[in-house]
Structure 1
């Protein structure tokens, strides 16, 4: 009986975790209720909300990581907020105390709060370790936006498609999750007595009337670089990078038509259709580590700026070490490997120029001297004594 009572108490404890949010723009604390369908955060003042309106989180690390990651990636502008996990019974008092602290704190004192906020990077790493992954597509893969019964299958039949056919191709699931198909799908259109066939990527979108419809992304021969793209005029180097690697490789200000705002963004080319795709910098997710290599601040900065980053001694799934270049892809919304299948020509000089300023101050347990750093930045050889190799021995190396 006592054991059953303890289990009941434990079940209650699971439901008592909730979230506080700090709005960076207004410097105010709110109690989190959830996320609206448009991605806006729903929260209330600690004076206006009851506990049954709050978001409820399971306390265990594994479940919490899954739930918080799902919640975080649904937000329209997650970088505008910091989140704190608190127990439900103390949420109001904690909110009051935290707001009082913020009202009086200096900028340095506000920085101390970062020790207590939930780090989405740490949460993602925890999820990766649970799943046995070390390099993750950070989109929310398990969240379906649409149901199969919402799709107009009679219309699909008219273009030569069915639910079974899309499922067998591996195209249905990505479409239901709101993504484009990862492959080109053959479709057919009948105009009078003439049947036209084409290949395109497909996606599902809700139109202005509230109905679910299919969007088509047909294959273009080449991107049209003669036209501006969201206000950006492509340089010759931009065009070369987009055609060779698929990524433009630098941040540019794009004018988004709905708001007219200029927003720092990256541009990539859809390698299947040759469409140009943009992603806002504030929507990018850069991983903490890639294939066993922890990224430092400078390496993250390189990726955030859209540049290619060459990484050594990564651990493959087969347990062998390998070197490769990686770069953020705006079309895929994650960091990708730049293997030869992705690029038409591979010039080591290009990679050197893109990362030449990213020479580490420490290498294999040895602090580099200023002259060694300068030689490495220039692409020259530097001899270093006291390098620590994996067996713990010190050697002289280059």
Structure 2
């Protein structure tokens, strides 16, 4: 066996630790096997014969911290357990010593337990700190302009990404890379897995690119949480009972508050919402709120626009649906989505009357195949109109044109792409669309 083969065999073991758990009801130390789909732990006795079933975790601090905080967020009754991270090479021996320390308490035993214990409280605080830092970057950075790339693909550490089950090819295939490079968070949840030669766990998360303090481009993983962390301060803001009720009910807090960002000496007015796909808390600076002059064919008064700018809910009547029918509903600006949304609340008669409105509709994406739609394009697109986009860009950066239509019922975008050689015809169509009233055309 040559030297390189020896290193290949030893590396997974050297880079891995084993996750042990103390069940506080049975007071027994066991080895974590995996997380069940119902959020319950599956464990095995920490014996030599079971070593191949032990969950292996990366020894790297950052990767483990990210994995463990998401692991806890999916676990039922995490307070019933204490966790320990021990070297894989001595896992069985260490588990036996920890069991003795639990069975016969002593100063030396307490020191041993403390040495290997993974603090769930510290990880929760670290998760919130990391989340706050990510959100601070989002609130203090302007939205990318059309066609602007904030990052380069070659700046990404693809070796580390592969440990999460992410590759450049996979992101490109799913039309995610272009939006990430422009500074956007993925609209859909992406499956993530930690792979060190042994399957550990899988989770769904939204992704975004950010720069760390050293200027390196890193992938931020916005994992799904069981619930928003509203018991912890958010940039210095303590959530009131009314704040919590609003956030849990509508996803929006409903008012502007002053937040203390780490890089600012002064407090910054902002609104707060919940990412409904991940339960992450997201803030948006008040000066970044953009309210349209007209919404669903209702011209907004200055007072109405002011209400939305302050993050408050607004009841609008005689809006026009995609079917051309009038309806009334409460609308509100959402910090995470960065636009005014309709609040369809089936459980609150004070908010909506289901007899007078249509069924909830899907929201149109602002980013289509890496192309950010302008405000005018998005207004027509989200209303279900067929619009022309002449400057989509392929992987070879070559422009091509085509028509897109959004189906609010299915949430799908229909494409009818024109041949790139017919550029003059596309420009003629674009001119006709801009100078004539839009007519609904069936897409073949």
TM-score, normalising length: structure 2: 0.44
